Homo-oligomer: A and B are copies of this chain.
Amino acid sequence: MTRDEVDAFLEREFPQVHHGGRTYFIEEVGPMSARLRMAYHERHIRPGGTLSGPSIMALAELALYVAILAQIGPVALAVTTNLSFNFLRKPAQRDLIAECRLLKLGKRLAVGEVAMRSDGESDIACHATGTYSLPDRR
């Protein structure tokens, strides 16, 4: 699927991702990869201007799902089985960019990693790895 097709699929199947105003944006999908942006929005902010852990984790989970959808097509039934996060640095007070790379796309399991950086920075703020269980395909 192209970027726009993934976007339309998510809006149709998971409208509540954008509940309260859209803050997650797909910037690009490629072979075994995806880049997403999370807008710096009061909903994601904790005291001191830092981004909340759950908003960062939601970005990573979504980035993995987008990268998988782009490869295997509209499969609502892929489910996360494992997610693991290393929080490395306090993110800056701006958008957070997630670069996802699939490490494996097997028949049953897809595994990927996500590096999240504050927009314009090179240091990784949070690194995630995750596994999705894929439905049987024909």
Give the interface of A toward B (CB within 8 A): 13-14, 16, 19-20, 43, 45-47, 52-55, 57-58, 61, 76, 79-90, 103-104, 108-109, 111, 113, 124, 127, 129, 131, 133
A88 to B61, CA, bound (A): 16
Known contacts A46-B14, A53-B80; is-contact A103 B129 (Cβ 8 Å): no
- B83 and A57 form a contact (CB under 8 A): yes
- B127 and A109 form a contact (CB under 8 A): no
- A83 and B84 form a contact (CB under 8 A): yes
Q: Smallest CB-CB separation from A58: which chain B residue?
A: B54
Question: Nearest Cβ distance between residue A109 and chain B, in whole angstroms?
Answer: 6
Q: Which of A14, A83, A108 has the most CB of B within 10 A?
A: A83
- A111 and B88 form a contact (CB under 8 A): yes
A-B contact list, 9 entries, CB within 8 Å = A53-B61, A54-B61, A57-B57, A81-B86, A82-B82, A83-B84, A86-B103, A103-B127, A127-B129
- B84 and A84 form a contact (CB under 8 A): yes
